[in-house]
Structure 1
Amino acid sequence: MKTLKNHTLIYDNECPMCNLYSKGFTKCGMLDEDGREAFTEITLRNKILIDFNRAKMKLLW
């Protein structure tokens, strides 16, 4: 499988499942070592790319 360049997976580093799952993408070579970033430590470069209104989880009650 080809490694995705210029892609970053934003994950919840306080969630053990998210941490493990996102680490799997780098271990299997889908993403390079810099291909994942914790949401709580997000860089300014990625912060300006995210549309936070679209990214919000919508709960249906």
Structure 2
Amino acid sequence: MNRASLSPLNLSQAATRAHTTPRMLVAWIHDGLLPATWTSHGWQIDPSALDRTTSKIWSWAA
């Protein structure tokens, strides 16, 4: 499956995928580390952007 064709994730789905809390993702969004779009349904996060950001953050922590 092409990663570009994946639908955006909501905050809860993204937190589960990144093995973190929704509050942490909001902090990443607020700090400009994680690109996301606010919609009438809440935060929408691109799965590819989430994977890249999570990988970078875990690399920094190592």
TM-score calculated relative to the size of structure 1? 0.29
Higher percent of residues as helix: 2
Higher percent of residues as strand: 2
- Structure label with greater radius of gyration: 1
